[in-house]
């Protein structure tokens, strides 16, 4: 079902009298001429019918509103469970019964598949070719909601199928545990701060959906450098790295999560740079030259990227050769 504006909705907000159900009192002995959307005489003298409110008259509009509300309820549900999952609450106690080597290996392999179940679909849906194909079936006003639902479901799949391990590789205690926990909570604050800078409404699909609800033109997303984006290109990804790394207890299953999701974040950062350089153009290439992707990466595709000369552009050597000739 494609959700959108325009042809779905009638121009008038009133229904024909034959569909009206709201009644009101009218002056006695009046009989105005009938017609669509007009007050007509009811069989009961002194009672006339009025058109239904336009909200009730538009079931597809109501369905679209319900989809948006349900999506954001799902988003809140997912964030809560993600917080618990990354904080280490699902981990098994130290005295949990040990399993055989084969069973432990099978659990770790299952966790690797679960971690990829979020990373791979998320990257595929972000690919321009995928977006272009899906937008032939999904209205731009609802594509953000679709992406948010797909992301939430993939994260919930990871969370509810994850098999924690009781084998501890490293654990912080005392003040070290307090510091790591503080860094974990700070990463959540940094994440929502970065999302707000980049437009949280774009991340969940709220902004285009609200424009559809209000029957306004779809807004255009603009590239703006502000806040943390003045010092690094990927503060959202950096905050997410903090969520998965700052855990006082490191178990074998957490190693799988760290390796898979950290790799995804760095590869995803590189792919995001490529997409923005393509769609934003010269402004983003200038931004890549001046601002690194991450503060701890001084060079490479995620560092400051030097501008390459345009094809066919004259270099100093070429000019000198031209003058000599």
DSSP 285-314: HHHHHHS-SSTT--SSTTS--PPPPPTTPP
Q: With beta carbons less than 8 A apart as the criterion, state whether 305 and 292 touch.
A: no
89's enclosing H/E stretch is none
Where exactly are the structural domains of the chain? Answer: 100-290
pLDDT tens digits in sequence order for the chain, 325 residues long: 444 444 343 333 343 433 434 444 444 444 444 444 444 444 444 444 445 455 555 788 889 999 999 999 999 999 999 999 999 765 545 445 566 777 878 888 999 999 998 888 877 887 778 888 888 888 889 999 999 999 999 999 999 999 988 888 888 999 999 999 999 999 999 999 999 998 888 889 999 999 999 988 988 888 888 999 999 999 999 999 999 999 999 998 999 999 999 999 999 999 999 989 988 889 999 999 999 999 888 888 999 988 665 555 444 444 443 333 3
Kindly report whether the global pTM for this prediction surpasses the value 0.75: no
Sort 218 into a burial class: Cβ within 10 Å, 0-12 / 13-18 / 19+. Answer: middle
- How many other C-beta atoms can be found within 10 angstroms of the C-beta atom of residue 152? 20
């Amino acid at each position: 079902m494609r959700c959108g504006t325009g042809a779905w909705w009638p121009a008038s907000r009133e229904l024909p009298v034959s569909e009206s159900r709201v009644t009101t009192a009218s002056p006695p002995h009046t009989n105005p001429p009938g017609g669509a959307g007009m007050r007509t005489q009811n069989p009961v003298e002194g009672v006339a019918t009025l058109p239904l409110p336009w909200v009730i008259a538009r079931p597809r509009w109501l369905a679209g509103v319900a989809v948006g509300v349900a999506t954001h309820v799902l988003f809140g549900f997912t964030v809560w469970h993600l917080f618990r999952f990354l904080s280490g609450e699902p981990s098994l106690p130290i005295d949990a019964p040990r399993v055989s080597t084969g069973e432990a290996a099978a659990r770790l392999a299952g966790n690797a598949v679960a971690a990829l179940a979020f990373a791979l679909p998320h990257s595929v849906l972000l690919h321009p070719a995928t977006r272009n194909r899906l937008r032939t079936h999904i209205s731009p006003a609802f594509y953000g909601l679709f992406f948010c639902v797909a992301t939430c479901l993939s994260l919930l799949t990871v969370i509810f199928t994850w098999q924690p391990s009781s084998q501890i590789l490293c654990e912080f205690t005392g003040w070290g545990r307090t510091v790591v926990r503080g860094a974990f909570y700070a990463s959540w604050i940094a994440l929502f701060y970065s999302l707000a800078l980049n437009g949280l409404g774009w991340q969940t699909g709220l902004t285009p959906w609200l424009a559809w609800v209000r029957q306004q033109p779809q807004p255009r997303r603009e590239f703006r450098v502000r806040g943390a984006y003045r010092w690094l290109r990927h503060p959202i990804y950096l905050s997410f790295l903090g969520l998965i790394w700052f855990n006082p207890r490191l178990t074998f299953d957490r190693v799988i999560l760290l390796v898979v999701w950290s790799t995804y974040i760095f590869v995803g950062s590189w792919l995001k740079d490529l997409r923005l350089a393509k769609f934003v153009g010269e402004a983003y290439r200038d931004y890549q030259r001046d601002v690194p992707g991450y503060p701890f990466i001084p060079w490479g595709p995620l560092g400051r990227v030097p501008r390459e000369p345009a094809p066919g552009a004259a270099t100093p050597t070429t000019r000198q050769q031209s003058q000599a000739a």
